[in-house]
């Protein structure tokens, strides 16, 4: 195991573009270096990890909630496995956008990792448009993701109005004394040099806001060969996720799936899916849908996140219809 692995947290609220930013950073990886990424998602099916697999990094996922909830032990097990497997020259950690950074930082700077990891600058992405939403500004996870940042980056500035960018700069100026740098970017483009150095470990406002005593045990997913249509659910912090794991031989009509992705009830829709004419990545946030080609995967994955309850059976039927399945078990447990 290598010691003092340069390690960076990439924080940001739901849909801000963290995975896109990490993909961009991986393209700048120096030749000959091994980079590893530890990904945590609120949902259960591991979409972000599947998206990141194309850039040659070693990926480890901790699905099913925020890293501090599934973690303590699950986070440390996943992190230890990743370090042993990859022996990386750099480690990037992407917690869920609905997570609180305190316990993650405590773990990474605690005695178990003091000689193993060198925690570099914490980078937090912010969508300037979200500063107009009081639900975001008042959210303790958002506030402390910002507070924990050494470097604060406004992403998606190409989608924001000049007034929204100006409002971000005024807001960030009030935080400037606690930040090493404040930057503007779009399309998730981060400068590799921002990863270098060490964190100042800025204090968060509510360090115990997300400590839990009901740790969630890890339950392995069923074998996709034995259960080719799997539906899973997670809920917490006012959000609900529904996810599907689907046998790769089941193919989807891309247009029908795109129509499903634009459901106004969804905060996010993400999929890595086998379509009739190849594999696609679908990513919907803020009413904008992107579709890109991708390499074949071991299975298709779909995840939706909503700020309220969702009609699970109806949505399952919609996903089945996009796959051209005439009959399916409405519980999502298998096909008939």
Contact 100, 67 (CB under 8 A): no
Instruction: Provide the pLDDT for residue 3.
Output: 65
Q: Which of 304, 266, 101 is nearest to 199 (CA)?
A: 101
CA distance 8 to 15: 19
Question: How far are the Cα atoms of 36, 87, 166, 291 from residue 58, in angstroms, in the given order?
Answer: 5, 10, 38, 24
Res. 168: pLDDT tops 70:
yes
Average model confidence (pLDDT) across the chain: 84
- The pLDDT-based confidence of 201 (bands split at 50, 70, 90) is confident
Structure tokens at 63: 């699905």
pLDDT in tens, 291-314: 989 889 889 999 998 888 889 999
CA distance 53 to 36: 11
Other CB atoms within a 10 A radius of the CB of residue 193 amount to: 9
Task: State residue 28 phi and psi, 5-degree precision.
Answer: -95, 5
Average pLDDT over residues 115-124: 95
Tell me the longest C-alpha to C-alpha distance in the chain.
61
Average pLDDT over residues 6-33: 91
Average pLDDT over residues 47-74: 64
Instruction: Provide the pLDDT for residue 128.
Output: 96
Average pLDDT over residues 169-175: 92
Reported as half-sphere exposure (CB side, CA atoms, 13 A), residue 199 has a value of 25
CA distance 119 to 92: 10
Instruction: Provide the pLDDT for residue 330.
Output: 42
What's the length of the chain? Answer: 336
Res. 44: pLDDT tops 70:
no
Instruction: Provide the pLDDT for residue 68.
Output: 47
pLDDT in tens, 177-200: 778 999 999 999 999 999 999 999
For the chain, give the percent of residues with pLDDT over 70: 82
Res. 43: pLDDT tops 60:
no
CA distance 59 to 4: 19
Give SS3 for 75.
helix
Reported as half-sphere exposure (CB side, CA atoms, 13 A), residue 322 has a value of 23
Residue ranges and CATH numbers for the domains of the chain are 5-195 (3.40.50.300), 229-322 (3.30.1220.10)
Contact 99, 141 (CB under 8 A): yes
CA distance 42 to 51: 15
73 vs 329, which has greater pLDDT? 73
| pTM of the entire predicted model | 0.77
pLDDT in tens, 137-152: 888 889 989 999 999 9
Instruction: Provide the pLDDT for residue 214.
Output: 44
Task: Kindly give, in sequence order, each residue whose CB lies less than 8 Å from that of residue 170, ignoring residues fewer than 6 positions away.
Answer: none
CA distance 231 to 96: 20
CA distance 19 to 51: 8
Contact 250, 274 (CB under 8 A): yes
Contact 77, 112 (CB under 8 A): no
Instruction: Provide the pLDDT for residue 295.
Output: 86
pLDDT in tens, 239-293: 788 989 999 999 999 999 999 999 988 988 989 999 999 999 998 887 888 898 9
CA dihedral for 170, 174, 176, 182, sign (positive or negative): negative
Instruction: Provide the pLDDT for residue 63.
Output: 64
- The pLDDT-based confidence of 332 (bands split at 50, 70, 90) is very low
Write down the H helix ranges in the chain: 18-27, 47-52, 67-70, 73-86, 102-109, 134-137, 140-147, 162-173, 254-261, 312-322
Instruction: Provide the pLDDT for residue 157.
Output: 96
Instruction: Provide the pLDDT for residue 49.
Output: 62
Strands 123-126 and 151-154: parallel
């Amino acid at each position: 195991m290598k010691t003092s692995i340069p390690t960076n947290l990439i924080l940001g609220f739901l849909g801000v573009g963290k995975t896109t930013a990490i993909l961009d950073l991986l393209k700048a990886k120096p030749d000959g270096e091994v980079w590893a990424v530890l990904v945590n998602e609120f949902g259960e099916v591991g979409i972000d990890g599947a998206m990141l697999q194309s850039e040659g990094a070693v990926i480890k996922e901790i699905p099913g909630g925020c890293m501090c909830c599934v973690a303590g032990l699950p986070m440390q097990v996943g992190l230890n496995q990743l370090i042993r497997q990859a022996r990386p020259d750099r480690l990037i950690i992407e917690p869920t956008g609905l997570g609180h950074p305190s316990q993650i930082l405590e773990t990474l700077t605690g005695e178990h990792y003091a000689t193993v990891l060198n925690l570099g600058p914490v980078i937090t992405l912010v969508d300037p448009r979200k500063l107009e939403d009081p639900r975001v500004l008042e959210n303790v996870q958002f506030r402390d993701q910002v507070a924990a940042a050494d470097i604060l980056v406004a992403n998606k500035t190409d989608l924001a109005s000049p007034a929204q960018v100006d409002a971000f700069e005024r807001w960030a100026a009030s935080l400037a004394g606690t930040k090493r740098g404040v930057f503007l970017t779009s399309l998730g483009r981060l400068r590799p040099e921002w990863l270098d150095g060490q964190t100042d470990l800025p204090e968060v406002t509510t360090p115990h806001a997300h400590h839990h005593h009901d740790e969630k045990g890890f339950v392995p997913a069923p074998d996709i060969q034995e259960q080719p249509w799997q539906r899973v659910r997670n809920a917490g912090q006012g959000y609900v996720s529904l996810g599907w794991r689907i046998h790769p031989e089941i193919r989807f009509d891309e247009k029908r799936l795109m129509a499903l992705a634009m459901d106004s009830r969804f905060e996010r829709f993400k999929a890595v899916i086998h379509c009739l004419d190849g594999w696609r990545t679908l990513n919907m946030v803020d009413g904008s849908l992107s579709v890109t080609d991708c390499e074949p995967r071991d299975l298709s994955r779909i995840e939706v996140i909503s700020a309220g309850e969702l009609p699970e059976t109806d949505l399952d039927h919609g996903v089945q219809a996009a796959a051209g399945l005439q009959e399916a078990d409405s519980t999502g447990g298998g096909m008939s």
